[in-house]
């Protein structure tokens, strides 16, 4: 079907516009200056839609929309840019012509089906994940029970042996006692040894008193050790504290010193007063007349004396004071200074003492707490060694006594007694450790049995939990699933084989199409026509090989080497030849290629080359390219020459001339503006 | 078909994995044979049974009953060879099999008729003319589970079937 009409869409920049009556034209040449809307008019050929649509006429002259399939669009619409950019990929282009992409696509779809079928055919297990986890845990535990028979009977036998051995070794344990009965009872496990194991373990702990992993009770020796350590720390703290509290009588000393200072000061004051009195007496006596001096009372001692004698005595006394009394005063004053210094020191120590006293009170409270805590932990368990029980009883008595006697505040005596308690605990601790070591040595085989007993108990518990998982394989369903998978596998194989066959076929078709002498010959013939542009071009050969980027190697016949670089003009020419070769192959292969559009094919060409292209395009015969050719150009010379050559070789040409169209404005103003439409019939020789 | 306890199944799985690691998957059959012989010996009716490693005889013999023990991957098994002549020597003949292509493993016991079929179906449905010995299947399942759980990884990790048999004898008979 041939193109009859082009209708521009509303999104087209030159909308509205319609080009009609094209069905008889072999060549449609769109001629117009730049900006006249040539490319816009051609856009429906590239991609129909809102830019416009292309219609043809069927046998009954009914309009029918024509489209170029997506995969051929790049081959049937050749823009100038594409012609200038690179040598077209002939391999892919020719492969398209061979229809191999469709076969390849089929192969890909089939492979996708295979993958989907394989993934959907995977068996889905209903097995609970916990089953595998428990199995691993069980196997790990089992591996640790080397050499033990892993049965409940073994477990019970081991437990009985252990209980019996413990009983024999321990003082006070009666085989028929309540403890023995409960131990025996606990050895009969309720849940394959799980509960029995736990109960038995506790009983054994109580019986033996050793600290083992599963027990909650500590050994007596361990308890004593921790108590002793706690007491020792407390005693160390007490010793430090006691040294600090040795300044206990400070306030009395301070009081005594203050009294002494007061007395000394009073002595100094009295002495000063005496000196003043003596000076006054001398002055008084010196004023008494000699007649009256026969007898007068002494101003100092108030005895009747001759004044001259009194004067003499006072004078002598004054001399004595001058030589010695000052020294005495100085001594007294020094004493006061000393007393002040002592008072200062004592006040400091008194404050320190107050702090110590507070600490001692707090410490005393702490000691009480320690002893109470130790006391609560030193309760002997049933069946413990009597020696331990007696020792603990002594210790308890001592502690209780201390607590009663020193419930209020700490004293040096309390600290001392506390130290004695710690020492007693230490002694018991040492003895306890000694006994425990001895006991451990004696009971080494028993302990090994106990370890084994523990491991076996854990293993039995794990086995019980594992076996309690409810999961049963539905074999019937599994087999049905298996049959379904086998059926699926058969289909998958079949489809995979078909996919592979198509892949090989596509490859073969592609290769054969490329190697077709027809395709290579067509290219050669087309390129040869450019000899007038450049004779060198006529010597180019395409042998089907490609470079790393899938560009075809063009081999120069003369120089015998690959041509990697072409000038711009040469590139346009070679690309044009290649494009028309591909389009020709496609059209002849009946692939439904409806047209070949060339948008400005003469870009980058000089006039000679442009003429050559016009000659070349115009001379393409219907046999070489059995479809309509649409060419747009701004070059009127090229258009005229193309028209002339085409009509000369017997093709009908429709020349559409366009004017500038107005941008913006009303639709009528901006629409496609035809300057003329001419039809040229083939020239008859 | 029945499955063993999960613990016994885990041990069998481990044993098979060990055999595969040693590049000796076929030795798993011997491991299993010895364990079956041991378990059968715990069933009153077959007490005193013994494993017979020689050719031309059943794998386990208990008086007038012969046992063929098979581990097999797949839904059917071909009984090729001289089964007919072996079968004819015993009044009763049982095929004990373990499907190793399924997890958990599936244990089954089939009564083998006097005319030994060429192919036996080991699937959920027993082929026409064959019958499952469901009593023995249940008993053997219990005993085999107990036996394997008693010996544990000492058995599954034994380096060879012979050493695994020693483990069975040592652990279970003391």
Report the pLDDT averaged over residues B14-40: 94
| Structural domains of chain B, count | 1
Contact residues on chain A for B14, CB-CB shorter than 8 A: 139
Q: Is residue B158 part of a domain?
A: yes
Q: Cα(A210)–Cα(A550) distance, rounded to whole angstroms?
A: 84
Contact residues on chain B for A473, CB-CB shorter than 8 A: 3, 102-104, 106
Q: Which residues of chain A carry a pLDDT beneath 50?
A: 88, 170-173, 188-197, 207-218, 247, 549-551, 553
B positions 138-157 inside 8 Å of A (CB): 146, 149-154, 157
Q: Is residue B1 part of a domain?
A: no
Is the CB of B14 inside 8 Å of chain A's CB atoms? yes
pLDDT in tens, B75-130: 888 887 788 888 989 999 999 999 999 989 999 999 999 888 888 888 877 766 78
3-state SS record for A489-505: HHHHHHHHHHHHHHHHH
Is the CB of A118 inside 8 Å of chain B's CB atoms? no
CB contact under 8 A, B106 and A142: no
3-state secondary structure of A121: coil
> pTM value?
0.48
Q: Which of A135, A140, A157 to mutate to test the interface with B (most CBs of B within 10 A)?
A: A135
In which residue are the tokens 């006994």 written? Answer: A435
Q: According to the model, what pLDDT value does residue A225 have?
A: 63
Q: According to the model, what pLDDT value does residue A412 have?
A: 66
Burial class (CB in 10 A: 0-12, 13-18, 19+), B117: middle
Q: According to the model, what pLDDT value does residue B16 have?
A: 96
Q: Which of A141, A142, A158, A192 to mutate to test the interface with B (most CBs of B within 10 A)?
A: A142
CB contact under 8 A, A475 and B149: no
What ranges in A597-635 are assigned the alpha helix state H? 607-618
CB contact under 8 A, B7 and A149: no
Class of A26-36+67-111+506-680 in CATH: alpha beta
Shortest Cα–Cα distance, B2 to chain A (Å): 9
Q: Which residue of A has its CA nearest to B153?
A: A143
Contact residues on chain A for B151, CB-CB shorter than 8 A: 149-150
Q: According to the model, what pLDDT value does residue A297 have?
A: 63
Cis previous bond, A365, omega within 30: no
Q: According to the model, what pLDDT value does residue A110 have?
A: 84
CB contact under 8 A, B7 and A466: yes
Q: Is residue B96 part of a domain?
A: yes
Q: Which of A125, A143, A150, A459 to mutate to test the interface with B (most CBs of B within 10 A)?
A: A150
Is the CB of B173 inside 8 Å of chain A's CB atoms? no
Q: According to the model, what pLDDT value does residue A129 have?
A: 86
Shortest Cα–Cα distance, B153 to chain A (Å): 6
Shortest Cα–Cα distance, A154 to chain B (Å): 9
Of the pLDDT bands very low, low, confident and very high (cuts 50, 70, 90), residue B51 is: confident
Check: CB of residue A206 under 8 Å from CB of residue A381. yes
Check: CB of residue A188 under 8 Å from CB of residue A196. yes
Q: Cα(A55)–Cα(A48) distance, rounded to whole angstroms?
A: 10
Out of B10, B104, B124, the one facing A479 most closely (by C-beta) is B124
Q: Cα(B96)–Cα(B70) distance, rounded to whole angstroms?
A: 6
Tokens describing residue A570: 């040469």
Q: According to the model, what pLDDT value does residue A326 have?
A: 65
DSSP state of A125: -
Out of B7, B106, B150, the one facing A138 most closely (by C-beta) is B7
What is the domain range of residue B83? 6-169
Q: Which of A169, A172, A171, A173 is nearest to A183 (CA)?
A: A173
Strand residues in A62-173 grouped as ranges (E): 63-66, 77-79
Check: CB of residue B61 under 8 Å from CB of residue B49. yes
| ipTM for the assembly | 0.93
Cis previous bond, B104, omega within 30: yes
Shortest Cα–Cα distance, A173 to chain B (Å): 31
A positions 448-467 inside 8 Å of B (CB): 459, 463, 466-467
CA angle in degrees (0–180, nearest 5) for A473-A477-A479? 95
Domain ranges of chain A: 26-36+67-111+506-680, 223-285+319-439
Q: Cα(A174)–Cα(A186) distance, rounded to whole angstroms?
A: 17
3-state secondary structure of B22: coil
Contact residues on chain B for A147, CB-CB shorter than 8 A: 154, 171
Q: Which residues contact A185 (CB under 8 A, 6 or more apart)?
A: none
How many A-B residue pairs are in contact by the CB < 8 A criterion? 71
Shortest Cα–Cα distance, A179 to chain B (Å): 30
């Amino acid at each position: 079907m041939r193109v009859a009409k082009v209708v521009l869409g509303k999104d087209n920049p030159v909308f509205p516009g319609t080009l009609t009556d094209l069905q008889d034209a072999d060549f449609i040449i769109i001629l117009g200056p730049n900006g006249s809307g040539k490319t816009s008019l051609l856009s429906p050929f590239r991609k129909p839609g809102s830019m416009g649509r292309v219609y043809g006429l069927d046998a009954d002259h009914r309009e029918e929309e024509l489209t170029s399939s997506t995969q051929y669009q790049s081959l049937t619409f050749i823009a100038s840019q594409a012609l200038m950019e690179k040598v077209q990929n002939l391999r892919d282009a020719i492969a398209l012509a061979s229809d191999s992409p469709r076969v390849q696509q089929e192969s890909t779809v089939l492979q996708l089906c295979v993958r989907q079928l394989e993934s959907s055919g995977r068996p889905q297990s209903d097995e609970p994940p916990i089953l595998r986890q428990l199995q691993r845990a069980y196997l790990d535990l089992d591996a640790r029970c080397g050499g033990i028979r892993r049965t409940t009977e073994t477990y019970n036998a081991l437990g009985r042996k252990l209980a019996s051995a413990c009983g024999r070794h321990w003082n006070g344990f009666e085989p028929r006692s309540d403890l023995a009965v409960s131990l025996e009872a606990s050895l009969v496990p309720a849940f394959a040894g799980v509960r029995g194991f736990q109960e038995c373990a506790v009983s054994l702990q109580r019986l033996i008193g050793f600290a083992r992993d599963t027990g909650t009770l500590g050994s007596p020796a361990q308890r004593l050790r921790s108590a002793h350590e706690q007491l020792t720390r407390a005693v160390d703290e007490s010793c430090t504290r006691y040294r600090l509290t040795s300044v206990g009588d400070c306030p009395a000393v301070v009081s005594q010193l203050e009294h002494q200072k007061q007395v000394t000061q009073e002595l100094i004051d009295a002495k000063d007063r005496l000196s003043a009195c003596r000076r006054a007496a001398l002055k008084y006596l010196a004023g008494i007349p000699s007649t009256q001096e026969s007898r007068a009372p002494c101003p100092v001692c108030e005895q009747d004396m001759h004044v001259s004698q009194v004067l003499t005595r006072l004078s002598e006394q004054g001399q004595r004071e001058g030589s010695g009394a000052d020294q005495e005063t100085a001594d007294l004053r020094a004493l006061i200074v000393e007393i002040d210094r002592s008072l200062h020191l004592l006040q400091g120590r008194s404050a320190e003492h107050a702090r110590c006293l507070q600490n001692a009170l707090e410490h005393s409270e702490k000691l009480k707490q320690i002893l109470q805590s130790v006391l609560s932990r030193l309760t002997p368990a049933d069946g413990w060694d009597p020696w331990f029980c007696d020792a603990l009883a002594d210790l308890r008595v001592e502690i209780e006594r201390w607590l009663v006697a020193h419930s209020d505040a700490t004293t040096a005596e309390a600290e001392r007694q506390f130290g004695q308690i710690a020492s007693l605990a230490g002694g018991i601790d040492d003895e306890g450790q000694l006994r425990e070591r001895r006991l451990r040595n004696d009971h080494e085989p028993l302990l090994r049995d106990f370890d084994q007993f523990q491991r076996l108990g854990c293993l039995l518990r794990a086995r019980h939990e594992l076996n309690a998982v409810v999961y049963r394989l539905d074999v019937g369903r599994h087999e049905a699933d298996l049959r379904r998978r086998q059926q699926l596998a058969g289909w998958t194989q079949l489809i995979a084989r078909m996919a592979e066959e198509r892949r090989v076929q596509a490859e073969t078709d592609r290769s054969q199409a490329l190697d077709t002498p027809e395709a290579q010959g067509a290219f050669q013939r087309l390129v040869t026509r450019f000899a007038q542009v450049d004779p060198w071009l006529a010597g180019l050969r395409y042998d089907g090989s490609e470079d790393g980027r899938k560009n075809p190697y063009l081999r120069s016949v003369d120089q015998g080497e690959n041509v990697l670089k072409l000038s711009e003009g040469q590139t346009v020419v070679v690309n044009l030849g290649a494009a028309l070769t591909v389009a020709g192959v496609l059209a002849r292969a009946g692939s439904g290629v409806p047209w070949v559009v060339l948008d400005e094919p003469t870009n980058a060409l000089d006039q000679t080359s442009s003429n050559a292209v016009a000659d070349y395009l115009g001379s393409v015969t219907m046999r070489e390219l059995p479809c309509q050719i649409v060419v747009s150009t701004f070059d009127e010379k090229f258009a005229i020459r193309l028209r002339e050559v085409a009509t000369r070789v017997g093709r009908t040409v429709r020349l559409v001339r366009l004017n500038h169209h107005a941008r913006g404005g009303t639709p009528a103003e901006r629409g496609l503006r035809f300057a003329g439409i001419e039809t040229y019939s083939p020239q008859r020789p | 078909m029945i499955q063993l306890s999960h613990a016994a199944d885990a041990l069998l799985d481990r044993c098979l994995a060990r055999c595969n690691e040693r590049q000796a998957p076929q030795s798993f059959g011997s491991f299993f044979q010895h364990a079956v012989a041991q378990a059968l010996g715990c069933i009153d009716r077959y007490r005193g049974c013994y494993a017979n490693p020689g050719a031309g005889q059943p794998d386990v013999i208990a008086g007038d009953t012969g046992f063929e023990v098979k581990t097999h991957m797949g839904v059917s098994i071909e009984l090729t060879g001289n089964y007919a002549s072996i079968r004819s020597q015993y009044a009763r003949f049982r095929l004990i099999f373990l499907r190793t292509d399924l997890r958990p493993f599936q244990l089954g016991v089939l009564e083998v008729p006097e005319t030994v079929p060429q192919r036996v179906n080991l699937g959920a449905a027993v082929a026409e003319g064959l019958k499952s010995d469901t009593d023995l299947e249940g008993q053997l399942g219990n005993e085999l589970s107990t036996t394997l759980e008693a010996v544990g990884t000492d058995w599954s990790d034994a380096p060879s079937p012979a050493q695994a048999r020693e483990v069975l004898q040592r652990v279970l008979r003391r």
